Structure formats: structure tokens, C-alpha cells
Amino acid sequence: MGHSKSNVVELSKIRWLMNNTCQEWIDLAISNPMEILLDHAHCERKAAGVALQLMFRYVSEPGLSEVLSPLAREELEHFERVLSILNARGKKLQKLASPPYGAILSKNICKDEPLRMLDSFLVAGLIEARSHERMKLLSIHSPDIELRNLYADLLKSEARHFGIYWKLADERFDRNILITRLEELAKVESDALLELHHQPRMHS
Ligand SMILES: [Fe+2]
Ligand SMILES: [Fe+2]
């Protein structure tokens, strides 16, 4: 449970993502800004849902709701912010087919506890880490200043979010098991993106 200075230093060296996003994704994303924005709204909504789902599943886990409830609220604030930009641009929230990314990751979550809990934290953290990486790219490459600012603001929170999931895992699981499992799931995450047909989605 101890969070000494050395742990903090080590944490900054944790590499969540095994590959970087390719140029094709950036090109596709910036040429379809409204579709990305709509997909992004759904991502924020789902991120809040994941945090709530974990709070329901592990209702009596000490120290879990204390961090996941504010995280869920923050994701809903992000959702509302993206939604207001969509609305201001004349677009309503509507269904959008999601890429199989989330399903591929969920399928790889261990079915049995306690590893199911570990995997759930790591998968949530990986999705946050990828969102952060891609928002950073959009904050640099988007030709639209309002969107550049939106992504630049949001990505700061997303960086904190994968830190929260890391900490939830690190407080409860052996560091070696955690690192091994993170490497396995990070491979699944990066392979999923390489195999997917590119679509204008945050995680495609
Ligand atoms: Fe968010
Ligand atoms: Fe997040």
C-alpha cells in the first residue's frame, strides 16, 4: 500500500501502450471531426459507465468508491462538454456503431476473481491511456481551434485517470503479477488497433 517516492518515480516509467498511433488514424480523424466528436461523446459516457459498473460490482471494496465516484462524475462532465459542442454545431447525440476494440479487450478480462478485478482496472487504464495519446494528437493536429482546445483540456484529466486505475491495481495486487498482466493486455490492446479496419473513431 505504501507510496514511497521510489514508487512514484517508477510509476512515471510505466509504459501502458505498446505502440503509437499511426499517421493514417490522425488523417482520418482530422478529416472527420464531427464523427470523432460524436464517438468521443460516447467514449466519455462509457468511461463514466465503466467506473460506475466497478462501483456496483465491488460495492464493499474499501477505498474503491472513494476514487471511482469522482472519476465517474468527471467523465460525465467531459460528456456534457462534448455534447454541448455537438449541439452548438447542430448535431444531436445519436447512436454510432462502435469499433470492436472495447469488446476485444473485455473478452480478455479473466472470468475469475481476484484476477477479474485486476484485469478490469488494467483494461480501463489502457483505454484511458489510448484516449490520452489520441487526444494529445488531436490537440496538436486538429485544424479547428475549438477542438484543439477541447482535447488539450481533456487530456490532462485522462492522464490522471490511468494513474487512478494503476493505483487501484497496485494497492491490491503483487507488483510482478500486475506488470506481467499489464504487458499481456497492452499487447492485446495494440494488436486490436493494428488489426482493426480504420474508421473515424477514437479507438479504431
Ligand atoms: Fe474523460
Ligand atoms: Fe478518462
42-97 per-position pLDDT tens digit: 999 999 999 999 999 999 999 999 999 999 999 999 999 999 999 999 999 999 99
Q: What is the pLDDT of residues 101-160, one digit of tens each?
A: 999 999 999 999 999 999 999 999 999 999 999 999 999 999 999 999 999 999 888 889
pLDDT band at 2 (very low <50, low <70, confident <90, very high): very low
Q: Are 86 and 38 in contact (CB under 8 A)?
A: yes
Ligand nearest to the CA of 79: 1
Sequence-ordered list of residues with C-beta below 8 angstroms from that of 102, at least 6 positions apart, any chain? 46, 127, 203
CA–centroid distance, 154 to ligand 1, in Å, is 6
Q: What is the C-alpha separation between 97 and 196, in angstroms, rounded?
A: 14
Q: Phi and psi dihedrals of 81, rounded to 5?
A: -65, -45
CA of 115 to the centre of ligand 1 (A): 25
pLDDT of residue 3: 47
What is the pLDDT, as a whole number, of residue 6? 46
Sign of the C-alpha dihedral computed for residues 193, 194, 195 and 198 taken in this order: positive
Q: From the CA of 51, how far away is ligand 1's center (Å)?
A: 11
Q: For residues 35-56, b (16+ Cβ closer than 10 Å) or e, as one string?
A: bbbbbbbbbbbbbbebbbebbe
Which of 1-5, 23-27, 124-128, 179-183 has the least mean pLDDT? 1-5
Distance between Cα 152 and ligand 2 center (Å): 13
Cα 204 to Cα 200: distance, rounded to the nearest angstrom = 7
Proximal ligand: closest to the CA of 154: 1
> What distance in angstroms lies between residue 10's CA and the mean position of ligand 1's atoms?
25
Residues 6+ apart with CB under 8 A from 101: 192, 193, 196, 201, 203, 204
- The confidence score (pLDDT) of residue 132 equals 93
Does residue 72 contact residue 146 with C-beta atoms inside 8 Å? Answer: no
Whole-prediction pTM value? Answer: 0.92
* pLDDT for position 10: 54
